[in-house]
Amino acid sequence: MTDSAPIFILGLQRGGTNQLLNALRSHPDTIWPDGEMHEVLRPKPALRGATAKTLAGYLPTALRSGDIMNPRRAPGPLRPRDRAWIARELARATERNLPEVRRFKRALAAQGLGPAVPSGRARMVLKVMNYNIGLATDLDRIYPGARFIGLVRDPYGICESMMARGGNPTKILELYRYFGETLLRLEQRGLPLKVVRLEDMVGDFRQCVDEVFDLCGLAPNATQGLCLQSKERITDAAGRVIGTRKVDTFYTFDHVNRHMRADINDAARAELAPEVAGLVQKNCAAVMERFGYLAPAALG
């Protein structure tokens, strides 16, 4: 591992990745682009504001290799020039986001939770979500020495949370099984990977963060807390939404557990319809067992 190797968080939506991401962002020696990997590299649909510049950058890759950054389906194989494009565009996106990185570090330092000035070489931190976990071996080839954190959650909690946002349980569980099986294969092939359970983070966030810092070669105790960001809607005089702004909330590592417990539904299994709970068992039993989910997760 080099002192500039990136750190990738492999996770699922509604799986607790924001807390871990922002713990890593709060370390003085990390930098990041604005968004998850697919948000940085893949243009959003036109109705959601895709830019011509992003589309122009992605189109050559999409034409020769397909929609490889689509987080809603498994990617196909990447070619060498696809990997070169990923490295180039992530570097550019990270450079563009440095003013926000500096603002974030200064805000954390103002709370007495960490230094504003890096102590070593900057490490890129990036979330790789949902089906994009299939790109992990390519990321390992692009960035020798990179470190990977696989964040897992009880499938009952994932299913309940995604369904509450309109998700189809069959598709949710297909994703969960793909993600879990891929994570286990990556672990077996020797990828520099640490699997972290969300439930363990909720139980002792500080210990999990210390273990992640150790795996990634980040100096321990360089920061004493983290900044969690939420988006607040901006409205005009008529009440129409005209934009959003980021709102910072700060926690020490020793006190973030209370926030996480309030943010996670620990009764997800009981709230699922019996037929959905049965689908979880049918589709995910083997993966659940491998990750230690033999019974409903106890979040304390």
More confident of the two residues 125 and 55: 125
Q: Residue 26 pLDDT > 60, yes or no?
A: yes
CATH topology of domain 7-290: Rossmann fold (3.40.50)
The yes-or-no verdict on residue 63 having pLDDT over 90 is: no
User: Tokens at residue 77, please?
Assistant: 């194989």
Q: Output the pLDDT for position 45.
A: 56
pLDDT at 270 > cutoff 70:
no
For residue 297, pLDDT over 50 is answered with no
Q: Is residue 258 over pLDDT 80?
A: no
| pLDDT exceeds 70 at position 266 | no
Nearest CA to 85 among 136, 39, 139, 34?
139
Question: Residue 90's pLDDT is what?
Answer: 95
Of 150, 216, 298, 204, the C-alpha closest to 5 is: 216
Q: What are phi and psi of 250, to 5 degrees?
A: -110, 140
pLDDT of 46 > 50? The answer is: no
Indicate the pLDDT class of residue 65, thresholds 50, 70 and 90: confident
Nearest residue to 75 (alpha-carbon basis) of 5, 131, 24, 14: 131
Model confidence band, residue 49 (pLDDT cutoffs 50, 70, 90): very low
Task: Name which of 60, 6, 61, 1 is nearest 29 in CA terms.
Answer: 6
pLDDT of 236 > 90? The answer is: no
pLDDT number for residue 4: 79
* pLDDT score at 140: 96
Pull the structure tokens for residue 198.
């969300």
